[in-house]
Chains A and B, each alone.
Chain A
Amino acid sequence: MDGEELTEQETALYDRQIRVWGVDAQRRLSKAHILVSGMKGTVVEFCKNIVLAGVGSLTLVDSREVTEEALSANFLIPPDENVYSGKTLAELCCDSLKDFNPMVRVSVEKGDISSFGGDFYDRFDVVVISSCSFATKKLINEKCRKVSKRIAFYTVDCRDSCGEIYVDLQNYTYSKKKLDETDECQLQYPSFEEAVTIPWRALPKKVTKLYLAMRVIERFEEAEGRNPGEISIADLPGVLKLKKELCEAQSFNESHVPDALLERLVSDTSEFPPVCAILGGILGQEVIKAISGKGDPLKNFFFFDAIDGKGIIEDISNPNPGS
């Protein structure tokens, strides 16, 4: 390490978390640059967590205007038209996030996330996207993978009272403490495209149904040219039809993708605040682990469903013959 020490101010503020992950990790956090797109409830929770943790900078992308739905799970924006009128979601969230930790540089990047060129991503260590179409997720994931310095890439989505986190750390080496010694571990992550194109029959047995349901909804919105979340109960027949087609094409048993779950996902697309807190918390921990290089990272999908209360990790990757 370059011998840079934390300031007295940082030591006092971060005392309790330094006791969890150590001074070295805290130093790394203070040098990390995070890009976030899609300022809905879950992402707002994540941003709160990462700013409190003391990252170097946080850049927000979301040029949407305030709507009722946008306010529903967002504690950063006061529900006062005088305050929010004329500003984008990113701008409003930025103003509030700065308050949480004056030592973190929070800023807004205007424009659409899918339009940024490859070198835009050069300056980031972590990229988190949400409320994106299937195509956009693929696109940005690819751009991040092209950057020579490794970027930790995440997607997070919450629909109704369940949600999903996807993690891509590419080729990842990290240290793991075992009693008195420290082990070096290595993991290989598939790209987003690689992961979601794994035939369903090749997935782990009893894979979470939510994974499958999310893929169906994703494809449906893609096929219909919808914005993410732009779906309703009226679309259910179309969604079920697509599900049938997808399953048949892969010789996959339809009953593994419950109709009831799909119905739930199309009926209520708004985020349930407790689930935002849970997903935002888990995601926050993952990003902190990736930046500090300490601790087992999640590989590679995480699901939470309030109905059964389980928070499940699924490894959706092609098994490596040599590993």
Chain B
Amino acid sequence: MVGAGGIGCELLKTLALSGFEDIHIIDMDTIEVSNLNRQFLFRQSHVGQSKAKVARDAVLRFRPHISITSYHANVKDPDFNVDFFKQFNVVLNGLDNLDARRHVNRLCLASDVPLVESGTTGFLGQVTVHVKGKTECYECQPKPTPKTYPVCTITSTPSKFVHCIVWAKDLLFAKLFGDKNQENDLNARSSNAASSSQQAEDVFERQNDEGIDEYAKRIYDHVFGYNIGVALSNEETWKNRNRPKPLYSRDVFPEEPSQQNGNMDKNCATDDPLSVSAMASLGLKNPQDIWSLLENSRIFLEALKLFFGKREKEIGNLSFDKDDQLAVEFVTAAANIRAASFGIPLHSLFEAKGIAGNIVHAVATTNAVIAGLIVIEAIKVLQRDANNYRMTYCLEHPSRKMLLMPVEPFEPNKSCYVCSETPLLLEVNTHRSKLRDFVEKIVKAKLGMNCPLIMHGPALLYEVGDDLDKDMAANYAANLEKVLSELPSPVTGGTMLTVEDLQQEFTCNINIKHREEFDEEKEPDGMLLSGWTQAPRVEKDDNKTVGNGGSSTSNASSAMPVEAEEDDDIEFVPTGKKRKVGEISKATNPNLSDVADDDVLVMLDGENLDINKKKKLQ
């Protein structure tokens, strides 16, 4: 089993009760309070401990004689190689991220071990079976990739609250409290003279003799007032859009200087940086409340002050963490003030935290149902009952009377680059793009390889490894900075590259096609990979062109990644594809032989598109 969380706890329990006696379980996480509403093998006293280990102990209490081996480790560790996977009859996933799922998928293919995949979000869930050569692998069908937003939407023309959150979290918070050396688009487009970028740097730096109150107000006025004012000066942007309102602290705050300081005493009593809170300081207790503009502004200033006052050491190193109360307060307030400026509805801290932290809503019941379905499939796999493998969907609303809907698996996708070894095609300007671009943007990001090896015929262009020869390592480092056509073994149009991940034992051939020009907006990477199916991206609504104000209507979609949505892997149920035609064996299913029923197998047709849409909107 991979994963000892929501699905994992339910699964381990059900496996044990069902007679499985040799179970290995991998999970890298430790237990948190918010897990306890559904990960029932854990108690309050276990917070901080390894999930895999505690789950094992809990299950042994009611099944003392079975063997459970727990690993507090990342499944992507090199220890979990093909030989490791080959030990098993079946692999069951209870993961919460796409990256790990792809990784396990490849290892299962390489080791030829069947994989039962699963996922849940709220009341929805699914279980899928993947057997090499017989069914699709996990990557045969496109999976939704993380949502990204066009840069301009975030920096200039937000229209939804989530845009404000991304701004507050990835731009403002990062600028004020994160690594100063990181590129930051915060002042992109606020002005374009070189001298003003110098100015921009100075704006966010706190001056030596600047009081904290002064500094906080200055930041407030700059990002919510001045920057908006500058944006307004570009008429084209606002031709067909509502104009935002610049907000200055002098207008938002009534004249009550003495009351504006929060009660710092509430935060003095403790030295624990993580319990410092602007809400506590200001007496705003309920995270479900939607604060007014004034309250949000107070929180903003107070949070900023508290960071500098109580957590100064961390400034410059902080990254947003949804469990960091003060960070959540700051981001909520900042997002809300920006939202107020742009006429977007404000949200409570509770809601903002969910969006900023990509929190997956989850309940015990769905996980229990899915775990039951996983075990049923696992048993079929052990019995090699291939004709009865099913993909099962747990719906919130019944479709044709069904809440649990089984579907026959499809045959492997002949164009799947993972399991069918179909070569891909890469269009690239071989005189402009470097090997580094290829490795980062294509091999790692798109193909999901961790430790790639790149060959051109017999020539090794690049590899990752701990025990590399010093000369070879230097050679590879040099290669990364070269453009493709100038590599020791030149890569030009018509070349075929072989890319491998040794751990995943996954090989992929890529045919190179030289192309001179790439659309800066549609193909910002300067490379186009095809034959590789990617799910359609969401969030294109801001790309309606408004006049010719080029930069403000850019649809460069690569720039603002929102963190990968955990557990968003409710698959699109495809239609119109080749079915796996399985014969229902009457010998093993006696009651089915009596059936005059014509829908023993659920046929996918247009009727089921509603389910697709519902899942997507979720």
A258-B594, A288-B365 given; A312·B401 CB < 8 A: yes
The answer to whether A77 touches B398, judged by C-beta atoms less than 8 angstroms apart, is no
Bound: A18/B372 CA distance, A? 24
The answer to whether B364 touches A53, judged by C-beta atoms less than 8 angstroms apart, is yes
Q: B18 in the interface, Cβ–Cβ < 8 Å?
A: yes
Q: A310 in the interface, Cβ–Cβ < 8 Å?
A: yes
Bound: A91/B331 CA distance, A? 49
Bound: A257/B322 CA distance, A? 55
With both beta carbons as reference points, the residue of chain B lying nearest to A209 in the complex is identified as B591
**Residues in A whose Cβ lies below 8 Å from that of B366:** 281, 285
With both beta carbons as reference points, the residue of chain B lying nearest to A259 in the complex is identified as B594
Which among A16, A19, A77, A206 has the highest number of chain B CB atoms within 10 Å?
A: A16
The answer to whether B64 touches A79, judged by C-beta atoms less than 8 angstroms apart, is yes
The answer to whether B38 touches A277, judged by C-beta atoms less than 8 angstroms apart, is no
The answer to whether B10 touches A277, judged by C-beta atoms less than 8 angstroms apart, is yes
The answer to whether A277 touches B372, judged by C-beta atoms less than 8 angstroms apart, is yes
**Residues in A whose Cβ lies below 8 Å from that of B37:** 13-17, 52-54
With both beta carbons as reference points, the residue of chain A lying nearest to B11 in the complex is identified as A277
The answer to whether A309 touches B392, judged by C-beta atoms less than 8 angstroms apart, is yes
Question: Of the 9-residue stretches B97-105, B353-361, B568-576, B604-612, which lies at the interface with chain A?
Answer: B353-361
The answer to whether A308 touches B600, judged by C-beta atoms less than 8 angstroms apart, is yes
Q: B402 in the interface, Cβ–Cβ < 8 Å?
A: yes
**Residues in A whose Cβ lies below 8 Å from that of B340:** none
The answer to whether A52 touches B38, judged by C-beta atoms less than 8 angstroms apart, is yes
With both beta carbons as reference points, the residue of chain B lying nearest to A208 in the complex is identified as B401
The answer to whether B590 touches A260, judged by C-beta atoms less than 8 angstroms apart, is yes
Bound: A54/B403 CA distance, A? 24
Q: A244 in the interface, Cβ–Cβ < 8 Å?
A: no
CB B592 to nearest CB in A, in angstroms, measures 7
* Interchain CB contact (< 8 A) of A49 among B36, B59, B364, B593: B364
**Residues in B whose Cβ lies below 8 Å from that of A261:** 591
**Residues in A whose Cβ lies below 8 Å from that of B33:** 12-13
Q: B13 in the interface, Cβ–Cβ < 8 Å?
A: yes
Q: A193 in the interface, Cβ–Cβ < 8 Å?
A: no
A100-B40, A273-B17, A274-B373 given; A19·B403 CB < 8 A: no
The answer to whether B17 touches A16, judged by C-beta atoms less than 8 angstroms apart, is no
A295-310 interface mask toward B, CB cutoff 8 Å, 1 = contact, 0 = none?
A: 0101000101011111
A61-103 interface mask toward B, CB cutoff 8 Å, 1 = contact, 0 = none?
A: 0000000000011111111000000000000000000011010
**Residues in A whose Cβ lies below 8 Å from that of B590:** 258, 260
Bound: A99/B43 CA distance, A? 8
Q: B597 in the interface, Cβ–Cβ < 8 Å?
A: yes
* Interchain CB contact (< 8 A) of A308 among B18, B354, B365, B592: B592
CB B384 to nearest CB in A, in angstroms, measures 17
Bound: A52/B34 CA distance, A? 12
The answer to whether A20 touches B14, judged by C-beta atoms less than 8 angstroms apart, is no
Which among B10, B44, B372, B592 has the highest number of chain A CB atoms within 10 Å?
A: B372
The answer to whether B375 touches A273, judged by C-beta atoms less than 8 angstroms apart, is yes
With both beta carbons as reference points, the residue of chain A lying nearest to B127 in the complex is identified as A309
CB B377 to nearest CB in A, in angstroms, measures 9
With both beta carbons as reference points, the residue of chain B lying nearest to A261 in the complex is identified as B591
Q: B368 in the interface, Cβ–Cβ < 8 Å?
A: yes
The answer to whether B43 touches A313, judged by C-beta atoms less than 8 angstroms apart, is no
A13-B33, A310-B406 given; A274·B376 CB < 8 A: yes
What is the total number of residues of chain A having a CB less than 8 Å from a CB of chain B? 64
The answer to whether B403 touches A311, judged by C-beta atoms less than 8 angstroms apart, is yes
The answer to whether B397 touches A278, judged by C-beta atoms less than 8 angstroms apart, is no
The answer to whether A75 touches B286, judged by C-beta atoms less than 8 angstroms apart, is no
The answer to whether B34 touches A13, judged by C-beta atoms less than 8 angstroms apart, is yes
The answer to whether B123 touches A15, judged by C-beta atoms less than 8 angstroms apart, is no
A100-B40, A311-B403, A312-B402 given; A277·B368 CB < 8 A: yes
* Interchain CB contact (< 8 A) of B365 among A49, A72, A258: A49
Chain B, 220-236, CB within 8 A of any chain A CB: none
Q: A39 in the interface, Cβ–Cβ < 8 Å?
A: no
B577-618 interface mask toward A, CB cutoff 8 Å, 1 = contact, 0 = none?
A: 000000000000111111001001000000000000000000
Q: A276 in the interface, Cβ–Cβ < 8 Å?
A: yes
With both beta carbons as reference points, the residue of chain A lying nearest to B6 in the complex is identified as A16
**Residues in A whose Cβ lies below 8 Å from that of B398:** 313
The answer to whether A19 touches B404, judged by C-beta atoms less than 8 angstroms apart, is no
**Residues in A whose Cβ lies below 8 Å from that of B403:** 282, 298, 302, 311-313
**Residues in B whose Cβ lies below 8 Å from that of A258:** 590-591, 594
Bound: A313/B37 CA distance, A? 28
* Interchain CB contact (< 8 A) of A53 among B10, B122, B363: B363
Bound: A258/B595 CA distance, A? 9
Which among B36, B44, B364, B371 has the highest number of chain A CB atoms within 10 Å?
A: B364
A21-38 interface mask toward B, CB cutoff 8 Å, 1 = contact, 0 = none?
A: 101000000000000000
B48-84 interface mask toward A, CB cutoff 8 Å, 1 = contact, 0 = none?
A: 0000000000010111100000000000000000000
Q: A229 in the interface, Cβ–Cβ < 8 Å?
A: no
CB A45 to nearest CB in B, in angstroms, measures 6
Q: B369 in the interface, Cβ–Cβ < 8 Å?
A: yes
**Residues in B whose Cβ lies below 8 Å from that of A255:** 594
Bound: A15/B368 CA distance, A? 19
**Residues in B whose Cβ lies below 8 Å from that of A310:** 402, 404-406
Q: B390 in the interface, Cβ–Cβ < 8 Å?
A: yes
With both beta carbons as reference points, the residue of chain B lying nearest to A296 in the complex is identified as B397
Q: A150 in the interface, Cβ–Cβ < 8 Å?
A: no
* Interchain CB contact (< 8 A) of A45 among B18, B368, B373: B368
Q: B287 in the interface, Cβ–Cβ < 8 Å?
A: yes
The answer to whether A77 touches B363, judged by C-beta atoms less than 8 angstroms apart, is no
**Residues in B whose Cβ lies below 8 Å from that of A15:** 34, 37, 359
CB B14 to nearest CB in A, in angstroms, measures 5
Q: B439 in the interface, Cβ–Cβ < 8 Å?
A: no
The answer to whether A19 touches B354, judged by C-beta atoms less than 8 angstroms apart, is yes
The answer to whether B402 touches A52, judged by C-beta atoms less than 8 angstroms apart, is no
The answer to whether B38 touches A17, judged by C-beta atoms less than 8 angstroms apart, is yes
Bound: A297/B361 CA distance, A? 21
CB A101 to nearest CB in B, in angstroms, measures 8
The answer to whether A274 touches B402, judged by C-beta atoms less than 8 angstroms apart, is no
The answer to whether A307 touches B365, judged by C-beta atoms less than 8 angstroms apart, is no
Bound: A172/B363 CA distance, A? 24
* Interchain CB contact (< 8 A) of B369 among A54, A73, A277: A277
CB A267 to nearest CB in B, in angstroms, measures 12
Q: B31 in the interface, Cβ–Cβ < 8 Å?
A: no
CB B604 to nearest CB in A, in angstroms, measures 15
CB B274 to nearest CB in A, in angstroms, measures 14
Q: B419 in the interface, Cβ–Cβ < 8 Å?
A: no
**Residues in A whose Cβ lies below 8 Å from that of B363:** 16-17, 20-21, 53, 285
Q: B16 in the interface, Cβ–Cβ < 8 Å?
A: yes
Q: B362 in the interface, Cβ–Cβ < 8 Å?
A: yes
**Residues in B whose Cβ lies below 8 Å from that of A280:** 368
The answer to whether A274 touches B34, judged by C-beta atoms less than 8 angstroms apart, is no
Q: B551 in the interface, Cβ–Cβ < 8 Å?
A: no
The answer to whether B375 touches A48, judged by C-beta atoms less than 8 angstroms apart, is no
The answer to whether A16 touches B361, judged by C-beta atoms less than 8 angstroms apart, is yes
Q: A275 in the interface, Cβ–Cβ < 8 Å?
A: yes
Q: A122 in the interface, Cβ–Cβ < 8 Å?
A: no
Bound: A52/B38 CA distance, A? 6
Q: B288 in the interface, Cβ–Cβ < 8 Å?
A: yes
Bound: A312/B350 CA distance, A? 36
Bound: A311/B392 CA distance, A? 10
A-B contact pairs, 26 of them (CB 8 A): A13-B34, A13-B37, A15-B359, A20-B122, A20-B362, A23-B288, A48-B40, A48-B368, A53-B37, A72-B17, A73-B17, A206-B597, A260-B591, A260-B594, A264-B591, A274-B372, A274-B376, A281-B364, A281-B372, A285-B363, A302-B403, A308-B406, A309-B406, A310-B406, A312-B401, A312-B402
5 further A-B contacts with Cβ under 8 Å, apart from A15-B34, A99-B43, A278-B368, are: A13-B33, A52-B364, A209-B591, A281-B366, A309-B392
- The 8 A-B residue pairs whose C-beta atoms are closest, nearest first, are A311-B404, A277-B372, A19-B361, A309-B406, A281-B369, A273-B17, A281-B368, A274-B372
Task: Give A residues with C-beta under 8 Å from B.
Answer: 5, 11-21, 23, 41, 45, 48-49, 52-54, 72-79, 99-100, 102, 206, 209, 255, 258, 260-261, 264, 272-278, 280-282, 284-285, 288, 296, 298, 302, 304, 306-314
